[in-house]
Structure 1
Amino acid sequence: MTHNGTLPRFFIVGTGRCGTTLLRKLLVQHPDVYIPQETHWLPILANYFGMQRVPHTEIFRVVENTYMAKGKTALERILKENALEPEDFRQDLFSRFGASAGTVPDFMAVFYGLLAERNGASICGDKTPDYGFCMTMLQQFWPQAKFIHIFRDGRDVALSMSKVLSFRYLVAWEINHWFGIAYKKQYEQKQALVVRSPAPSKSWFAHWRKPIPLQQPELPLERFYELWRSRLLRIRDEAHRLSRDCYQEIRYADLLSNPIPLLRHISQFLNLPERGNWMKEASTMINAENVQKNLDTPDYVRLTSQYASDLTALGFEP
C-alpha cells in the first residue's frame, strides 16, 4: 500500500466535548479510513519550522515531546492504541523517508501513512478539536484537505468541560487552546504552577488525584460556557478565511437523531468510496437519548436562564 503527500485528507475540529470523538468512532467504521488519537503538534511544528526542509529528527523531537493534560505525550497515546512499541515505530518511520530532511507535510504524510497502513486503510484523517484555531495554516500545508466542524449546544459542552482535567486547566489558566502549552517546555512551566493535593471524596477527580490549579478550588460553570463560546466563534472566524468548498459544519444533535443521512453527507463531502453497509453499522453505535440527557438538570436550567439571548444568536434554542 502506497501513500503520498495528500495525507491527511481531512480534519475533524470543534470546541471540545462536542462530538468529535463520536464522529471519529463512526468514520473509522469505513474500511478505508483511519483517524489517530489527537496529535496537537502541527501548530507547534508550523511555529518552529514553517515550510522549511529540516532534519526529520528535529520534527520527531517535537512530536515526541507534545504532552496531554494527564502527563502522557500525544504520541504515547497513539502508539498504545495501535499496540506499537516506541522504538519499533521510530525505526519503521525513519526507514521510510527517502531523505534525511524534509518539510512538515513530508514528515506527516509518512507518519499518517504508516498508521493508516497498519490499520488496513488508505485514507487518513486527523481528529484534534483545537486545530479549528489554525485551519488556514493547515490549508497551507495541505491545500486539498477538508475540515469538518462538529458543534454542540454550549450548555451541554460547559457541563462536560467542567468535569475534564484539560478544560479545567484551560479555564483556570485563561488559555483558549491546548497546543499553546502542549510542547514540553511550556508544559513543564505550567505544571510548576499546580499542586498535588487530596481531592474531596465525592469529587469527580478524587480517584485520579490529579494536579489542581493553584488558588482555583472552584471554577464557575459560567467560565466553561464562556470558553465554549470563545472557541466556537474563533473556529467560525477561521473558517471565513478558508478556500471554498473545504469546510462543513454539522450539529452533534443531528448526528445523534439522524445519523445515516448525515454520515452519507459527510462521506460525499470527503469523497469516501462506497463500501458495504458501514454507515448502517456505524449508526448502531449511537445513543440518541444523549441529545437531551442534561435538559432538566439545575445547572442546565441556570445556564439557559443566563444565556438565552446568546444561545439564540449562536443558533441554539434556549
Structure 2
Amino acid sequence: MTVLPQTPLFIVSTGRSGSTMLSDLLSLHPDILSLSELFNALHPHGFRQDPIDGPGFWSVLSEPRPRHTAWLRLMERGLVIDEFRYPVASALRFRETGIPPLLAMTLPLLGDDPDGLHEALGIFVQSLPEARIHQQYLRVFQWLCARLGRRFWCERSGASLGLVQPLSHFFPDAKFIHVFRDGREFALSASRFPLMRMGLISAMFKRRFGTAPYLAPTYQAPEDLPAAWRGLLPESFDVDAFQQFELPLEPIGVAWSEMIAVGLGMLETLPAERVLHVRYESILDAPRDELQRIVRFMDPKLDDPAWLAQAAGQVRKNPIKWLNLSPDERDRLEAACAPGMALLRRFS
C-alpha cells in the first residue's frame, strides 16, 4: 500500500478527556492508523539520543520501563489497568526481564499477533542507518502503515499535553489536535482512574517521605508509614485499599488548570492553522459534525461518509457527574478549575 505523504499528526490532552475514544473511532477508518500511547509507553526515554542508528533506536523502542513491571505486579494482585493492553496472563513471563514498552501498550491494539509484529518491527528498525531521531520515528510510522494496510498515521498518548514542546521541537511541521473537557468532570474521572490515582498517591508519598511507589518494581516502605497506607505499597498492595483511598478533588482541579495553562501556552507558539481544539462534550453532542471537522483537519483526502456514519453511531452520551457532589465540594472544585475553564472558553 502506498502511504500518503503527510504532516505528522499528534492528538494531545490532559488525559480523561476523550482522546482514547477519538483514537478508537479513528481506528475504524480504513485509511487511518491510530497509534495509541506510543510516546507514553516510551517515556521518559523517547528522545534520549539524537541522531541515532538502528540498533540504538531499537533500544529506545524495546528497552523495558520499570513502571510497566511495577504495574504488572499490581495487576497480578487484581488491579485493572486498561492502558496495559498485553494479556496479563501472557505478560507474567516478563516478571524478571520486564516487558518491552510497545508490546505493553501500543502493538496489541494493532492486531492479533503483537509478538510477531514486535519481532518484525525489530528486524526493520535495527537495519536502519543513522539519522535524526524524528526521521527514525517517521520511518517506523510509515512501515507500520504499509504493514497494516493503512495510508495515514496519527499518534495519541493520554495526558500528553505536556509533550507538545518536545513533539513540536522534533517534528517542527507537526499538526496537533487538542482534545479538552470540562475540568470538573476531568477531576472526578481522574480521581477514580488507576494510573492517575498512582500519580496522585506517588506525589503524596514523595512530599511526605521523599520517595514514591509505583515507579519501580520494588519500594522500600518508610518506617513511619501510617498503617492505613500499607495497602497502597507494591509489596502489600490491596486493590480495595487503593480504590477507596480518599483523594481530595480540589488539588486535582488546580493541577488540571495548571496543565491547561502550560499546554495552551505551548500550542499558542505554533501557527494557528496547525492546531485544532476539540471539546469532548461537543463530540458527544454533535458527533458527525465534530468527527468530520477532525478528519478534514487531518487531511481532506480522508473524508469518508461510510466511516463517518459508523463512527458517529458509536458515540454515546456521558452524563454530567460533578453536579452530584455536595455543595461545598462543588464550590471548591469550581474555584480550582476556574482558571483553566476561563482559558478554554474561547474554544467552546
TM-score normalised by L of structure 1: 0.78
**Match for residue 236 of structure 2 among 154, 179, 197:** 197
1:264 corresponding residue in structure 2 = 292
Q: Deviations over 1:258-298 (max 9, x none)?
A: 1111112112211242223211211111112x042x14422
- Which runs of 5 or more residues in structure 2 are unaligned? 73-83, 85-99, 205-213, 222-232
1:37 corresponding residue in structure 2 = 36
Kindly indicate whether the alpha-carbon contact (under 8 Å) linking 2:25 and 2:311 is maintained by their aligned counterparts in 1. Answer: yes
Query: What is the one-letter code of the residue matched to 2:118?
Result: F
**Match for residue 102 of structure 2 among 69, 75, 91:** 75
Secondary structure of the corresponding residue to residue 106 of structure 2: helix
Return the alpha-carbon distance in structure 1 between the equivalents of residues 194 and 166 of structure 2. 28
2:190 corresponding residue in structure 1 = 161
**Match for residue 103 of structure 1 among 117, 132, 148:** 132
2:325 corresponding residue in structure 1 = 298
1:209 corresponding residue in structure 2 = none
Query: What is the one-letter code of the residue matched to 1:239?
Result: L
More helix by share: 2
- Give the superposition deviation at 1:30: 2.0
- Which runs of 5 or more residues in structure 1 are unaligned? 176-185, 207-216
Return the alpha-carbon distance in structure 1 between the equivalents of residues 290 and 115 of structure 2. 37
Return the alpha-carbon distance in structure 2 between the equivalents of residues 30 and 200 of structure 1. 37
Return the alpha-carbon distance in structure 2 between the equivalents of residues 131 and 100 of structure 1. 29
Q: Deviations over 1:67-101 (max 9, x none)?
A: 54724654123222223343653344433676432
Kindly indicate whether the alpha-carbon contact (under 8 Å) linking 1:239 and 1:247 is maintained by their aligned counterparts in 2. Answer: yes
Residues 54-65 of structure 1: pairs in structure 2 closer than 5 A: 54-64=52-62, 65=64
2:91 corresponding residue in structure 1 = none
Residues 104-253 of structure 1: pairs in structure 2 closer than 5 A: 104-174=133-203, 187-188=215-216, 194-197=233-236, 199=238, 201=240, 205=243, 217-253=245-281
Return the alpha-carbon distance in structure 2 between the equivalents of residues 146 and 161 of structure 1. 27
1:191–1:128 CA distance, 2 compared to 1 (3 A)? farther
Kindly indicate whether the alpha-carbon contact (under 8 Å) linking 2:18 and 2:179 is maintained by their aligned counterparts in 1. Answer: yes
Secondary structure of the corresponding residue to residue 30 of structure 2: coil
- Give the superposition deviation at 1:231: 1.8
Q: Deviations over 1:117-161 (max 9, x none)?
A: 343211000011333213232123223321111111122111111
Is 1:285 paired with 2:314? yes
Query: What is the one-letter code of the residue matched to 1:13?
Result: V
1:85–1:35 CA distance, 2 compared to 1 (3 A)? closer
Query: What is the one-letter code of the residue matched to 1:249?
Result: H
Kindly indicate whether the alpha-carbon contact (under 8 Å) linking 1:3 and 1:109 is maintained by their aligned counterparts in 2. Answer: no
1:15 corresponding residue in structure 2 = 14
Query: What is the one-letter code of the residue matched to 2:21?
Result: L
Secondary structure of the corresponding residue to residue 17 of structure 1: coil
TM-score normalised by L of structure 2: 0.72
Query: What is the one-letter code of the residue matched to 1:25?
Result: D
**Aligned-residue CA RMSD (Å):** 3.1
Kindly indicate whether the alpha-carbon contact (under 8 Å) linking 1:3 and 1:110 is maintained by their aligned counterparts in 2. Answer: no
Percent of matched pairs sharing the same residue: 21
Query: What is the one-letter code of the residue matched to 2:202?
Result: W
1:308–1:117 CA distance, 2 compared to 1 (3 A)? same
